[in-house]
Chain A
Amino acid sequence: MSPGDHPSLRVTKYSIDAFMQLLSECSECTEAQVREKLHLGYFESYFRDVNVRTIVSEADYIDLDYLTDYAAYYVRCFHHYRRDCTRLHFFSEDLSQDDFLALLSRAADPAAREDLQAAYKGFIVVRPLPQCVIGRTCLAHYDHAGHRHFPVAQPYTANLSGLELSAHTVPFQEQDQVTAACATSALWSALQITSRLFNHTPMPPVAITQAATTGVPLRSRALPNTDGLTIEQMAHGIRAAGLEPFYIDARDAFVLRSTLYSYLSCGIPVLLVVHLAGSSKNRLDPRPISLGYHAVTVTGYSLQLSDLGDRLVRGPRLVSDHIGKVYAHDDQVGPHARMTLIRDRRAPCLTTSFRGPENVRQVRAYPYALLLPLYHKIRIPQQLVCDLAFNLDRALYSFGVLPGVDEHLCWNVRLLTVNDFKREVASRADLNDTARVEILTTPLPRFLWHAAGNRGNEPALDLVLDATDIASGHFIRLAFSSDPGLLRFIMHLADNEALAATPPGQAIADVAARTKAFVVSE
C-alpha cells in the first residue's frame, strides 16, 4: 500500500458526476438508475448553493438504522446484501487525499479542527441496496439569509477518523419501499428530533412500520411495506414512541401557516400530509390528475414580511401570515426541500419538485392534514391561545386603545420551553431591569404559550400561558408590557362598570381575571 492509499477513506473532488459515481459504486444501483433519481437534481442544486468542493468517503460504515432494517429484513433474503454502508462527507473546501491525511495527523490542533468544521456540510450514508440508496442524511440546512428559519434543526455530529464534525440539521432518508414507505420516512425524521426533545428512544424505520401496523393492521402485509400507512397508523407510530399525535385539518392556508409556525417555534417537527395532483399534458383536458397522498416532515419556513399571505388583512393578524415558503424533508425530493405556498382555483397549495408520470405536468401538493408528535404534557392547543389573543385584540380595538394604522396588534403566537422564553426575556431591550427580574424569577411550567402582540416592530403586550394546564383553568401565568397605560387598562377595566358591562369589556375582564400576575415595565 502506498503512503497516501487508505482503502477505508477516499477523498474525491466534487462534481455531480463524481457524486453519482460514488452512489453507484457504494451500492447495487447502476449509474443509469442513479441518474434517474429525482434526488440527484435536488442534491446538485443544494451542493452548488452551499459550495461543496470535496467528498470524503468512509467505507465499512455501520449505520444503526440500516443495520436494524437489515436484521429485520435483508439478512433473510437469498441474495447476499451487505450489512455495512459507505458514508460520504461533504466539505466546502478543496482538499486532496494528502491534505486530508495531513489534517488527520494534526487532529489535536484546535485551529485545524475549526477550519475543517467551518467547511463541513454534513454527510449521506449510502445503503448497499439496488435502488433506494440514500440512507441517513444529515446535511446542514440553508443559510438563514434573514428570512429562512429552521427552528427544528439540531446539531448532528459525525466522527470521521477521530475528527468530530457537526452539521445543524434534521436527519433525512429515502424510503426503501421494503421496511418503509414515505409515511414511515417522514415519521422517522420527526421522531429523530423528538427523541432528543422529549427523551424517548429513537426508532429505526422498520420499528416504526411494525409499531404503526400492530394496533391498526393493514389490509395487506406490513413488510414489504408497499401500501404505505394510513393517517391512523401514523398516529399509532407516534404513540409507540410515547408521544401524543395531534391531528389538524390543514385544508385552509391560515390554519396551515399558523399551526406550522406555532409548533415549529418550539423545535417540534410537523408531519404534513398532502394530496398530490397534476394537470394533464393534454391542454384540452382540464381535469386534475390525482397522484395520491404523500407525507413530508416540515423543518422550517421562510417569512416574507412584504407578503401578507392570501387573506385580506383587516382584523387580527399573526406573524405566521407572512410565511411564503416551507422547507420539508420530502423523501422523494430531498432534505429541506423548498415548497412555495401558492393559491390555485381550488385551495391553497404548495409547489413541489415531485415528478409525476409521463402524462402529467406541474405536480402540486394540496395540504390535507398536519400530524403533530407532542409530549403528553403539551395540552392547551394553539387554537385556544389564538382565541384568547384575538378576542382581546377585538376588545382593545373596540375601545380604540390601539392607535396605529389599522388599530390591531400583530400577534406572534409560539409554543416555547421555559428555558427558551427566559433566554429571550433576558435579552429584551424594551423591559426595564425590575420587570425583567420579576419575569425571570416567576415560576413557569416547562411548556408555555407566548402570545406577543406587536404594534409595528414594537412589542405592546405579552401574554404567557401555561401549555400544561386545562382549557377551563386560569392558564394565563403572566401578562407584561412596556406600555403601562395599556396593561393597566386591561387590569382595571373591570372597575369601570359602564365599560365592563359591554361585550368587549367582558372579554377584557375575563382575560384579567384569568391572569395570575401582571408585570408593568415603566
Chain B
Amino acid sequence: MAKDPAHRDLDRLLQRAEQMLRAGRVEKRFRAASKSTDELLRKLRRAQDVDPKALRKQVTI
C-alpha cells in the first residue's frame, strides 16, 4: 500500500539521518553545534546561581 505524504516525509528524514550517521557526520555536527549551545546554556544556568561574591557585596539602590 502506498504511504501517505507525511509518512514519506518521515521515511525521507530517517533515511537522511541514517546516511549521515553512517558517514560519521552526525557526531561531527553534534560536536560543532555543542560549542555555541553549551556556552549559551551555561550562561543561563550561571545567571541563576547565587554568586557568593555578590552576596558579600551589599548593593544599595
Q: Are B61 and A182 closer than 8 Å at their CB atoms?
A: yes
Instruction: Please report the C-alpha to C-alpha distance between residue A399 and residue B54 in the assembled complex, in whole angstroms.
Output: 42
Choose one: A383, A488, A498; the contact of B45 (CB below 8 Å).
Answer: A383
Instruction: Please report the C-alpha to C-alpha distance between residue A503 and residue B21 in the assembled complex, in whole angstroms.
Output: 12
Contacts of B26 in A (CB 8 A): 398-399, 502, 504
Q: Are B37 and A249 closer than 8 Å at their CB atoms?
A: no
Contacts of A227 in B (CB 8 A): 60
Most buried by B among A183, A230, A250, A489: A489
Interface size class of A (residues with CB under 8 A): 35 or more
Contacts of A486 in B (CB 8 A): 9, 13
Contacts of A252 in B (CB 8 A): 43, 47
Question: Are A230 and B61 CB-contacts (below 8 A) given A247-B50, A248-B47, A249-B54?
Answer: yes
Instruction: Please report the C-alpha to C-alpha distance between residue A394 and residue B33 in the assembled complex, in whole angstroms.
Output: 6
Q: Are A499 and B14 closer than 8 Å at their CB atoms?
A: yes
Choose one: A292, A316, A400; the contact of B16 (CB below 8 Å).
Answer: A400
Q: Are B61 and A401 closer than 8 Å at their CB atoms?
A: no
- Nearest residue, chain A, Cβ from B16: A400
Interface flag for A238 (CB, 8 Å): no
Question: Are A401 and B59 CB-contacts (below 8 A) given A315-B40, A498-B21?
Answer: no
Q: Which of A312-371 contact B (CB under 8 A)?
A: 314-316, 368-369
Q: Are A250 and B47 closer than 8 Å at their CB atoms?
A: yes
Chain B proximity of A105: nearest CB distance (Å): 49
Contacts of A382 in B (CB 8 A): 44
- Interface positions of B (Cβ within 8 A of A): 5-7, 9-10, 12-14, 16-18, 20-21, 25-27, 29-30, 33-37, 40-41, 43-51, 54, 58-61
13 residue pairs of the A-B complex, CB under 8 angstroms, read A255-B44, A273-B59, A273-B61, A316-B36, A369-B54, A386-B41, A390-B41, A399-B13, A399-B16, A485-B13, A488-B6, A496-B18, A502-B27
